[in-house]
């Protein structure tokens, strides 16, 4: 990347120590002048852009935590797992600094860069989101275990001990083409093109610095009842996401999702761990299954989403309830029985996918892009181990992809994505 005069000057005159002091204190105070864009301040040659509070359907980029985690689930996701091609920590830092204003612009519903009428060069923005509003776009960034294993990046001492490849689980049939990655970008929005546009433009702007390892688009259809959003249904037609932490309850979120200071490496405080599992759902087999069997698989009623034997979706599920003959009302091999029995919690934020046909079988390649956020990956591991070989749902699903990423804490205005990681020696 060619550097501007300002950047060259800064490279020379500001020592690393001074730079860390200033960014730590909030880099807004560091602004070195207005750019040609009129009133847009710069730090280290990068534009400091604001969240535009007047924009329709807009989620804030800046905050204590990254967006796309506690944010109400949107209807579309484009999830990308990337490998890095850069060969030094400072190049990686440059990459996240470069991505920061682009993410702010796109979450404001704007195109990236400044519009140019120069017909001799490709436009800065790929353009397909023009005319669409922000559509509650959220962009969430995380880093995978493999990033810290790249010697040339010198990050190994900063790797949290929790950030290890997930263990092999019974019945896993993972494919390398849907597994792992150095960086993840989760773009969610209420429009598929807005979500795709975000990832496409971030990758394009990072040409030569990252390569796309795998990606998955997904969808959720969210019914509205009297103007209120209801729980979306998965491709097995069951309400999915009923039993989840309350995202606007800080205590719940601190207990389940947000890494607290002292829990892990200091740079992770306020962040979280993202588990992604690409789980194929065998729709053809499911569709041949009797309703009673389907309900026994989940331990819930298909229509209402209520626990078996109850009426309301949000009624408590008591897994110890027995019928008159002393048999458990919620089957002991049902998905919810086993998930509950694990006695661990996580925030599920999954999306359905449909990606054509499985070559070998001629069946749908469709399923769930399961995404969960938890303050420690062991919460996921505990639940997945409890589901293990017993989960009745195993007859109808196959885990085909898996990845774990450490998601940075939120970004302060004037700072950039992942700053805490790069400012730790």
Ligand X SMILES: C=CC1=C(C)c2cc3[nH]c(cc4nc(cc5[nH]c(cc1n2)c(C)c5CCC(=O)O)C(CCC(=O)O)=C4C)c(C)c3C=C
Q: Which residues bind ligand X (CB under 6 A)?
A: 234, 236, 238-243, 277, 279, 281, 298, 300, 317, 335-336, 339-340, 367-368, 370, 380, 383-384, 387, 397
Nearest distance from residue 281's CB to ligand X, in Å? 5
> CB-based burial of residue 367 (10 Å sphere; 0-12 exposed, 13-18 middle, 19+ buried)?
buried
Sequential DSSP letters for 55-73:
STT---SBSSB-SSSSSPP
Which residue, 105 or 336, has its beta carbon nearer to ligand X?
336
φ, ψ for residue 42 (rounded to 5)? -125, 145
Beta bridge pairs of residue 322: 328
- Least distance to ligand X, CB of residue 275, Å: 8
Distance, in Å, from the CA atom of 305 to the CA atom of 183, rounded to the nearest integer, reads 36
Residue (385 or 423) nearer to ligand X, CB: 385
Closer CB to ligand X, 212 or 279, in the complex: 279
User: Residue 142 or 307: which CB sits closer to ligand X?
Assistant: 307
Min separation Cβ 136 and ligand X, Å:
21
Taking the complex as a whole, how short is the minimal distance between the CB of residue 338 and ligand X, in angstroms? 9
User: By C-beta, is 181 or 299 nearer to ligand X?
Assistant: 299
Return the number of the residue (162 or 240) whose C-beta is nearest ligand X.
240
What would the two tokens of residue 296 be?
Answer: 């026994």
Tell me which residue of 281, 87, 278 sits closest to 176, measured CA to CA: 278
DSSP 326-391: S-BSS-TTSHHHHHHHT----EE--EEEEEEE-TTT--EEEEEEEEEEESSHHHHHHHHHHHTTT-
CB 301, min distance to ligand X, A: 10
Query: In angstroms, what is the minimal distance from the CB of 228 to ligand X?
Result: 18
Give least dist CB 384 to ligand X, A: 4
Calpha distance 89→25 (Å, rounded): 22
CB 198 within 8 A of CB 137: yes
Q: What are 307's strand-pairing partners? A: 300
Nearer to ligand X (CB atom), residue 98 or residue 339: 339
């Amino acid at each position: 990347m060619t550097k501007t005069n300002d950047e060259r000057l800064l490279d020379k005159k500001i020592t690393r120590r001074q730079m860390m002091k200033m960014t730590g204190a909030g880099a807004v105070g560091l602004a070195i002048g207005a750019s040609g864009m009129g009133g847009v301040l710069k730090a280290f040659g990068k534009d400091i852009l604001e969240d535009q509070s007047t924009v329709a359907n807009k989620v804030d980029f800046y905050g204590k935590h990254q967006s796309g985690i506690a944010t109400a689930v949107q209807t579309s996701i484009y999830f990308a797992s990337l490998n890095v091609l850069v060969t030094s920590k400072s190049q990686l830092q440059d990459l996240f600094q470069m991505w920061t204003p682009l993410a702010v612009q796109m979450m404001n519903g704007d195109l990236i860069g400044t519009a140019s009428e120069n017909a001799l060069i490709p436009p800065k923005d790929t353009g397909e989101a023009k005319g669409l509003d922000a559509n509650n776009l959220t962009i969430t960034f995380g880093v995978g275990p493999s990033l810290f294993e790249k010697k040339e990046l010198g990050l190994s001492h900063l790797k949290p001990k929790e950030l290890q490849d997930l263990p092999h689980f019974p019945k896993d049939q993972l494919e390398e083409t849907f597994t792992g990655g150095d960086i993840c970008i989760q773009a969610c929005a209420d429009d598929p093109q807005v979500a795709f546009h975000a990832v496409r433009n971030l990758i394009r702007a990072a040409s030569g610095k990252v390569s796309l390892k795998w990606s998955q688009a997904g969808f959720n259809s969210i019914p509205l009842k009297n103007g209120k959003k209801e729980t979306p249904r998965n491709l097995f037609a069951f309400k999915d996401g009923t039993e989840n932490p309350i995202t606007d309850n800080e205590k719940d979120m601190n207990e389940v999702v947000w890494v607290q200071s002292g829990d892990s490496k200091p740079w992770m405080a306020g962040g979280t761990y993202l588990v992604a599992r690409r789980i194929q759902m065998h729709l053809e087999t499911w569709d041949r299954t009797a309703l009673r069997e389907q309900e026994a698989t989940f331990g819930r009623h298909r229509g209402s989403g209520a626990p078996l034997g109850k009426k309301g979706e949000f009624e408590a599920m008591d897994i110890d309830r027995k019928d008159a003959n002393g048999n458990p009302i919620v089957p002991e091999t049902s998905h919810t029985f086993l998930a509950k029995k694990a006695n661990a919690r996580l925030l599920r934020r999954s999306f359905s996918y449909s990606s054509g046909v499985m070559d070998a079988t001629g069946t749908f390649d469709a399923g769930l892009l399961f995404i969960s956020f938890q303050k420690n990956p062991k919460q996921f591991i505990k639940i997945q181990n409890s589901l293990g070989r017993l989960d009745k749902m195993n007859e109808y699903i196959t885990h085909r992809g898996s990845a774990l990423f450490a998601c940075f804490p939120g970004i302060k205005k004037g700072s950039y994505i992942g700053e805490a990681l790069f400012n730790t020696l």
